[in-house]
Amino acid sequence: MSTKWFGAAIPRRQDARLVRGEGRFLDDIVLPRMAHVAFVRSLHPNAALGAIDAATAMQVPGVLEVVSHADLGEAGRPFLQLLPHHGLASATWSALAPGRVCFAGEAIAAVAAESFAAAQLAAEAVAVEYRTSAPIIDLESAQRPDSPLVHPDIPRNLAMHMVEQCGDVEAALRSAPHRLKERFRITRGGGMPLEPRGVIADYDLNRRELTVWSSTQEPHTVRNTIATMLGLQRHMVRVIAPDTGGGFGTKINVYPEEILVPWLAMRLGRPVKWVETRSEHMLSATQEREQIHDIEVGFDESGRLLALKNVFYHDMGAYAPRGGAVPHNTSAALIGPYRIPNVRSEIAAVYTNTATVSAYRGAGQPQGVFVIERAMDRIAAHLGRDPAEVRRVNTILSDAFPYDTGLTNLLGGAVEYESGDFLGTLDKALELADYAGLRARQVEARKAGRYFGIGIANYVELPGRGPWAGGGVRVEHDGSVPVYTGAPSQGQGHETTMAQICADQLGVSIDRIKVLAGDTALIAHGIGTFASRFGVLGGNAVRLSALEVKEKILRIAGEMLETSVADLEIEDGKVSIVGVPDKSLSFEAVARKALRAAGPDGEEPGLEATRYFKTSNITYSNGTHIATVEVEPATGQVQVLKYFLAHDCGRVINPMIVEGQIMGGIACGIGNALLEEHAYNSEGQLQTGSFMDYAMPRAADMLEIHMVHQETPSTLNPLGIKGVGEAGTIPVPAVICSAIEDALRPLGVKINEAPLPPFRLWKLIRAAAKAA
């Protein structure tokens, strides 16, 4: 195989269309006789529901229907647990709140009307009787025996208690020359796609077919869930994800609205649309990151880690649509690129009366990286060593792969790093940043009374999550090549990367290839786009299909040219005999022949294959980020000055897309480090209901990013790809907080939490000054 396309920096194919405003997003879809939906959402975080009175609402002109849980019948039962696993006390949501609400913002009733304005007006007129109880908001006290319960049948609000370990931590801690204990805290944020969620459903009574458009990262899962919940056969439900204006994890779960809207469409016998408002997104879309970690590390004189003990609380919010996937990721990411012979990681995941927690770009990994990287800095400070050197002595060496960390992943497999050059990225990043030069600058800055800091963070990402993904390839009789998958893109660039892989494998120009995605009618099975998985799995599935089609092309061409397949080669959509370039056949000719020649004894018609790539394990990407900051102690304001990184995501399909993914990831990470925070007060009311209070990074918060790629192929798939979608985000809170602590070292400020908006950092600075 030539690699003409794989590895090339081809601009993303969807960009021109989207930048010109030619995208077709969910809200652009308008169907005849379409009704609109508005939800009545709970004002209280923990309440039993009494009467729901819709009499006044029904009087509003244009109102068609007001429904609550009692109307739903079977469709109102709790969703099935996705990813059920051992030790999980499961709690899943329902299409509408079933008699009680678990967070402020949970949908209690839905109004369908001729217009959205009428639906909204009527929703306000629905009177709901609440019998409120005290909510539990605080993560730490949720486990106490006297805490209010989020779900009456789940004692101590404990969703999951799990211990992961290797070696003997207690013994290793006892005998370690040095020990440190710390508490770290990461606060809750949430994915903020420009385009909020939305669903349209259209039921064809005549054909008994339901078509649903949803702004989702997982159309097949939405289809399967709708079929199950509404009692339909899967093949009668088609789910389409149109152009999607960002996902960031907030669109991976199947939400109550994705059942309710189709149910309403079937009930009303007309198409129904719901588009989430930004306020609804803030209140009811999934959020993530809140954790508290109590860690203890034991280490020797050189800073080498001998033992790591970590107990952490993870906030699940109200429900667990994916079980403990997020905290489990944290546990796995905790190890990073380091050799740690004795590890004990204990997770206590608890329900609280807040919006549901599920994956948000990085999904638990930023927290794990934050914890281990803060520990690295503390060890360095404790020993008076350079933080880069302490990381170096702990790094897994290149000859140790495959490297078994001794822990297990969520699929039950070993957390085994298949390949890598972890010192490679550390060295490359240090060199790129001119680390010694930065330290010299710091000396100068400190002399001048400025608070200049350098931060370092390593990470190992867990992308390429299995178990499988599919991708089909077809050569049409006009020579065009559709490639189809189940996983839609929310900016990842599948339209381009899948085409690049297919082009090389098949031997055809990328211009002939069109990637179709995000429609369950295209391919029978799909899992979706999340966890930096699709490049790895979808890419390898497309490779398998392309190879199968190529074999058939060669077989048919061999017959046509009366030569053996071994003497044939394919280039640029033409099959020719090696050494006889003028004797060639176009793909079009072969494709036509493949249809005509089909007969009782010959080949089956067509040039088409749909294969699925399976994997038994996750791939592991890694990298090193370095940032410099300057802090203004008088205000707590942080300015990120420079940013350097070296990363390794295996073989790079398209460096331009990889760079874009990383830069976008860093923007998100800067938000996580310095700005983004969802806050609830003790009454369970969200304080950050709009962008007036939820602080997002903006263009001015971004800076020039210097990066180098290192390519250590994965050994788990033939293309050697590892995945990169979340890599940009994962280490950023760690690296920025590392730099802030470094900047404020003369003041003795310790950074044990993220994010650090000015007010919070100023409080830490003031507390350190008072203590001094």
Partner 1 sequence: MYEFEYRRPASVPEAVEMLRDREGAKALAGGMSLLSAMKLRLASPDVLVDLGRIEGMSGIRLEGAEVRIGAMTRHAQVAASAEVGKAIPALADLAGRIGDRQVRNRGTLGGSLANSDPAACYPAAVLGLDARIETDRRSIAAEAFFIDLFETALQSGELITAVRFPVPRSAAYVKFHQPASRFALVGVFVAVTGSGEVRVAVTGAGPVVFRAASIESALAREFSAAAAGAAAVSAQGLNSDMHGDADYRAHLIPVLAARAVAQILERQG
Compute the least distance from the CB of residue 696 to partner 1, in Å. 7
Is the CB of 645 or the CB of 674 nearer to partner 1? 674
Our CB check for partner 1 shows the closer of 174 and 278 to be 278
Nearest-approach distance from CB 242 to partner 1, in angstroms: 25
Cβ at position 759, least distance to partner 1 in Å? 5
210 burial via Cβ count (<10 Å: 0-12, 13-18, 19+): buried
Of 294 and 701, CB closest to partner 1: 701
If the CB atoms of residues 51 and 692 are measured against partner 1, the closer one turns out to be 692
Distance CA(589)–CA(154), nearest Å, equals 65
Measure the CA dihedral 161/163/164/170, to 10°. 150
The residues that bridge with 35 in the sheet, in sequence order, are: 272
Contacting residues toward partner 1, per CB under 8 A: 117, 120-121, 124, 279, 634-635, 637, 674-675, 677, 679, 687-688, 690-696, 757-759, 762-763
The count of residues in the chain is: 772
Q: Which residues contact 25 (CB under 8 A, 6 or more apart)?
A: 195, 215, 242, 243, 244, 245
| 555 versus 760: smaller Cβ distance to partner 1 | 760
Q: How far is the CB of 38 from partner 1 (least distance, A)?
A: 12
Looking at 524-649, which runs of residues are DSSP E strands?
Answer: 568-571, 574-577, 580-586, 607-614, 621-632, 637-648
Q: Which is nearer to partner 1, 121 or 473 (CB)?
A: 121
- Residues sharing a CB contact under 8 Å with residue 192, sequence separation 6 or more, in sequence order: 246, 248, 250, 281, 676, 694, 696
Expressed in percent and rounded to 5, the helix, strand and coil fractions of the chain are 35, 30, 40
- Sheet with strand 237-240: strands edge to edge: 63-68, 107-113, 35-41, 272-275, 198-204, 209-214, 237-240
Minimum distance from CB of 738 to partner 1 (Å)? Answer: 21
d(CA 224, CA 210): 12
How far apart (Å, rounded) are the C-alpha atoms in residues 122 and 124? Answer: 5
Supply the minimum distance, in Å, between the C-beta of residue 284 and partner 1. 16
Give the H/E segment covering residue 27.
Answer: none
Least distance (Å) from partner 1 to the CB of residue 697? Answer: 10
Nearer to partner 1, 635 or 715 (CB): 635
Region of residue 515 (left: phi > 0; alpha: psi -120 to 50; beta: else): beta
**Helical axes 534-561 vs 587-596, angle rounded to 10°:** 80
Tokens encoding 268: 């009303």
Give backbone dihedrals phi and psi of 694, rounded to 5 degrees, phi first.
Answer: -90, 115
CA dihedral sign of residues 485, 487, 488, 490? negative
- Nearest approach, Cβ of residue 728 and partner 1 (Å): 21
Residue with Cβ nearer partner 1 (634 or 771): 634
DSSP line for 173-233: HHH-SEEEEEEEEE--B----SS--EEEEEEETTTTEEEEEE--S-HHHHHHHHHHHHT--
Nearest to partner 1 of 115, 132 (CB atom): 115
Tell me which amino acid residue 630 is: E
Give whichever of 278 and 439 is closer to partner 1, judged by the CB atom: 278
Least Cβ distance, residue 362 to partner 1 (angstroms):
21
Q: Pick the closer one to partner 1 by CB: 614 or 691.
A: 691
CB of 683 to partner 1, least distance (A): 14
- Check the CA dihedral 42-44-49-52 and report its sign: negative
Residue 675 gets the label, from left (phi > 0), alpha (psi -120 to 50) or beta, of alpha
CB of 253 to partner 1, least distance (A): 26
H or E segment to which residue 444 belongs = helix 435-447
Q: Considering beta carbons, is residue 61 or 231 the nearer one to partner 1?
A: 61
Shortest CB 96 distance to partner 1, Å: 22
**Whole-angstrom Cα distance, residue 627 to residue 669?**
12
